[in-house]
Amino acid sequence: MPGEIVQGADELLVAEFLESGDNNTFSRLLKQHQSSIKSIVISTLGIHFRSEVDDACQEIYIKLYERAKSYTGKSKFSTWLYRLVKNTAIDYQRKNIRHLATHAYEDEEMIDWKTSNEEISESVNQSINEFVEQLPLQYRTVLYMYYWQGQTTQEVSKHLLITQGTIKGYLHRIRQQIAIIIKDIDI
């Protein structure tokens, strides 16, 4: 029913925190979502900006603490939190773009593509990472949520407020481009 208040474990924790103002309750809520917050920040900032992830997360934790009272309960807390995290990470990226750009290639970590080094050469891995970095933010987010977080296209669609067909289209185009990259390198 539209406008109905959603009640789940997270929603109850938020209500308890807002009612009591107890920092331990907030800590429990934060612990439950810390890894997903970090994952969203990494997917938004990109792999070359991992050194900035902790700072961006700190900014998000503060914002979450300050804005928890604006949560109305009309949607799942995880959906509300996703929007807060995503928007804050994008704002962080915009504010710090010059600083981030100077450190872009200092972080040499590559994405673990869930395959061994014998199967994919370093040049393919590097080419794919460069390709992923060039993707529009929306495509990168879909890619990350689907492959690294293991969400279904339906779950990704719900979180991003995009049709499931669009999500499937994004993934299809990404896979096509990666196939071309691999073919061009000629393994």
Contact at 8 Å (CB) between 84 and 63?
yes
76: Cβ contacts below 8 Å, ≥ 6 apart: 6, 8, 10, 11
Domain residue ranges of the chain, discontinuous segments joined by +: 1-109, 111-187
pLDDT band at 4 (very low <50, low <70, confident <90, very high): very low
Distance in angstroms (rounded) separating the CA atoms of residues 4 and 74: 6
Helix 164-185 × helix 153-160 angle, to 10°: 120
Question: Residue 74: helix, strand or coil by DSSP?
Answer: coil
**What is the CATH number that goes with domain 1-109?**
1.10.1740.10
Give me the CATH topology for the region 111-187.
Arc Repressor Mutant, subunit A (1.10.10)
Three-point CA angle 6, 3, 60, nearest 5°? 55
Higher pLDDT, 120 or 75: 75
Distance in angstroms (rounded) separating the CA atoms of residues 41 and 87: 10
pTM of the entire predicted model: 0.53
Residue 51 has pLDDT above 80, yes or no: no
pLDDT digits (tens, 9 = 90+) for 120-160: 456 666 777 788 888 888 888 888 888 777 788 898 888 88
93: Cβ contacts below 8 Å, ≥ 6 apart: 44, 45, 49, 56, 100
